[in-house]
A and B are shown apart, each in its own frame.
Chain A
Amino acid sequence: MAGGTTLRIAWRNLWRNRRRTGLALAAIGLSVTLVLAYDAILRAYGDWMVETITGPMVGHVQVHTPGWRTDRAMDRTLEDVSRTVDAIRRDPAVADASARVYAPALAALGDEGFGVVVLGLDAGVESRPMRLLSGATVAPAGRRVLVGRALAELIGIRAGDEIAIVGQGADGSLANDLYTVAALLDTSVDLVNREAVVMDLAEAQALFAMPDAAHEIVVHARDARQVPALLGRLAGSPRLAGAETLDWQALAPELVSLVSLVRVAGFVTLVLVFLAAAAGVANTMLMSTFERTHELGMLLALGVSPARIVRLVLAESVALGLVGALAGAVAGLTLVAITHRTGIDYAALTGTGPSAISFAGLRWSMVFYPRLDMADVLAAVAAVLVTAIAASAWPAARAARLEPADALRD
């Protein structure tokens, strides 16, 4: 018999018992929505952690002169950085790249010196969203610098004060000058708040006698998943020959293990969520097919072949599964799209809780942005579909093998 007829009969069967069909659709749809929602939250966690780590300070890739990370010697500089940074920015995977100067120095309001780190950076790039200066009210420019709030409170610096900065130039000479504190700085990086005097890159290069040189180039990729390929291209580029090029996993290994711990825990929960969803689908499909043993026995008695009965039930469950899973996927995607735009603010959900937490030297916001990967959607739909089909095929095959008389008695 032609498959077309089987499909038509299957379709008609679905409409004959609307309550049963509706229940099955709801089970399948809800399962897909649930799995997708949880998966999206899991991805939000992952993105949130990686973004909190890489966004303001670490970046996805950093370039240094070998040895600088160990001794932070002033004279371990990258030369000709403006052209190197331009070259890096031309890579299509690069969202932004900029150079930084790190100089240990003394800062003094009066005659008391305090150990600080002068951080010279490209204020234009680092003021973008999620970057180090994204929360700053003013950008450092020329003789106007920003001072980390905790450091400022320690020294007693207020906005508008004039401070002396004394350090050592990259050529070993004495670096000293007076600067006006444009504003106090709050960043999500504790270390910066506690130790940094943030200065415009060009000014820092002039102060520390290192024209067009820097200690670090920090690169952000457009997408964290492009980082391995980007790292390969940068490491192989002739402009960076002899430099040390590392991705954030190599730069912040302790945070990487934190991220993978959270990911593993999340994945285990995802598996449990999926099992619960699959059990719901399987239960619904099993029961609704067992319920039809009498009906299927009737068909057997009328001379329909067992194989065709199985095909019929399969066709029904494929149709149910497809419609239910697609509806669930649409619902899940809509939910995720809405929350992705607004973010889920855990702080608002907990009511009086803090709006951010400090951990591992970083400030972590409590807002998450759920996100889905198309591969995840396909996998969830396919898995639920397979569960639905398997859960109806087995009771159908069992019924088809019964003596019609036995089946009718059921």
Chain B
Amino acid sequence: MSRVFAAARRGRTAGAALLGGLALVAGPPQAPDVDALLRRLDDLYRSTSSIARIELAVSGPRVTRTIRLTAWTRGEDEVLVVIEAPPREAGTATLRVGQNLWNYLPRIARTIRVPPSAMLGSWMGTDFTNDDLVKESSLRRDFVARVDRRSDAPAGWWLSLAVKPDVVGRWARIDLLVDDEGLPVEERHFDRRGRLARTLRFDEVQTLGGRRLPTHMTLVPEDGEGRRTEMRYLAIQFDVAISDDTFSLSRLERIR
């Protein structure tokens, strides 16, 4: 989820590639400099701040629903997500500061901190977990990357990222397809037992917020029997001024 809200926040592929896309000069079929690519992915995507409007479509074999939200991010550690629709959930907010995650529930006017035991639970009924929201990870810092092979359709490179031994996280390996423009196409997440756990696909590359980036992503969990969560950026602003108190509990409770 984080990557969705945080076009600018995290050093993860998605965001990094979004920003990196413009800067990358396509040079196929020469293998890319992985370290430079990852640094760009990690660093370029860390804008100082962003505000994004996002639509999530969660579909399962039995239920489909759509959520619209606005996400504010600043730096690596601060995220605020406020749900705008559907009406039943409007005003519900999630605040992340560092490793802490709080949900604000306007219906009962309560703020509740999400405990570590619930981190792998679903975030707001999507296929993203609370952990996705909190996990502050950097491809370059947490993984050892190498170019795996050339991809023809789409033209690009498969990178294979193996987690470093001392890093605690859900994924043991991430296979990442980056096209020759430097934009992410697909990410495959493998769990600690080496099984493919979920796939994230990127498409609908457009210019949004002054950057060329995939505006649509689809997350498909392997064990989800037809479940998927799609997200679409409706608008993004980068490097806008966001006041300090945006990422505070008191602000969280004044959202409505």
Q: Are B105 and A176 in contact (CB under 8 A)?
A: yes
Q: Are A108 and B86 in contact (CB under 8 A)?
A: no
Give residues 99-154 of B contacting A (CB, 8 Å): 102-103, 105, 107-108, 110-115, 117-118, 121-122, 124-125
Q: Are B92 and A113 in contact (CB under 8 A)?
A: no
Q: Are A112 and B113 in contact (CB under 8 A)?
A: yes
Q: Are B125 and A173 in contact (CB under 8 A)?
A: yes
A297 to chain B minimum Cβ distance, whole angstroms, is 87
Give residues 170-210 of A contacting B (CB, 8 Å): 170-174, 176-178
Binds A, one of B4-12, B26-34, B57-65, B210-218: B57-65
Q: How many residues of A contact B (CB 8 A)?
A: 22
Asked whether A168 is an interface residue with its Cβ less than 8 Å from the other chain, the reply is yes
**CA–CA, A160 to B63, complex, Å?**
37
Residue of B nearest to A112 (CB): B113
**CA–CA, A106 to B108, complex, Å?**
14
B171 to chain A minimum Cβ distance, whole angstroms, is 21
Interface bin, chain B = 20 to 34
**A171: B residues at CB distance < 8 A:** 63, 65
**A169: B residues at CB distance < 8 A:** 125
B163 to chain A minimum Cβ distance, whole angstroms, is 26
**B122: A residues at CB distance < 8 A:** 168
Interface centre among B92, B124, B125 (most CB of A within 10 A): B125
Q: Are B114 and A174 in contact (CB under 8 A)?
A: no
**B115: A residues at CB distance < 8 A:** 106, 112-115
Asked whether B181 is an interface residue with its Cβ less than 8 Å from the other chain, the reply is no
Q: Are A115 and B110 in contact (CB under 8 A)?
A: no
State the main secondary structure of chain A at its contact with B. Answer: strand
A73 to chain B minimum Cβ distance, whole angstroms, is 8
Asked whether B89 is an interface residue with its Cβ less than 8 Å from the other chain, the reply is yes
18 A-B contacts (beta carbon < 8 Å): A75-B62, A106-B114, A108-B113, A111-B102, A113-B112, A114-B117, A115-B117, A115-B118, A164-B110, A166-B105, A168-B122, A168-B125, A172-B60, A173-B89, A174-B88, A174-B89, A174-B105, A177-B107
**CA–CA, A112 to B86, complex, Å?**
26
Q: Are B113 and A111 in contact (CB under 8 A)?
A: yes
**A106: B residues at CB distance < 8 A:** 112, 114-115, 118
Asked whether A306 is an interface residue with its Cβ less than 8 Å from the other chain, the reply is no
The 8 Å CB contact of B118, one of A75, A113, A173, A177, is: A113
**A75: B residues at CB distance < 8 A:** 60, 62-63
Q: Are B86 and A173 in contact (CB under 8 A)?
A: yes
Asked whether A104 is an interface residue with its Cβ less than 8 Å from the other chain, the reply is yes
Q: Are A111 and B65 in contact (CB under 8 A)?
A: no
B249 to chain A minimum Cβ distance, whole angstroms, is 8
**CA–CA, A154 to B189, complex, Å?**
35
Using an 8 Å CB-CB cutoff, how does the interface string of B158-192 with A read, 1 for contact, 0 for none?
A: 00000000000000000000000000000000000
Given A176-B105, A176-B108, 4 further pairs, Cβ under 8 A:
A112-B113, A166-B112, A172-B125, A173-B89
7 closest A-B pairs (Cβ-Cβ)? A172-B125, A113-B112, A108-B112, A115-B117, A176-B105, A164-B110, A168-B125
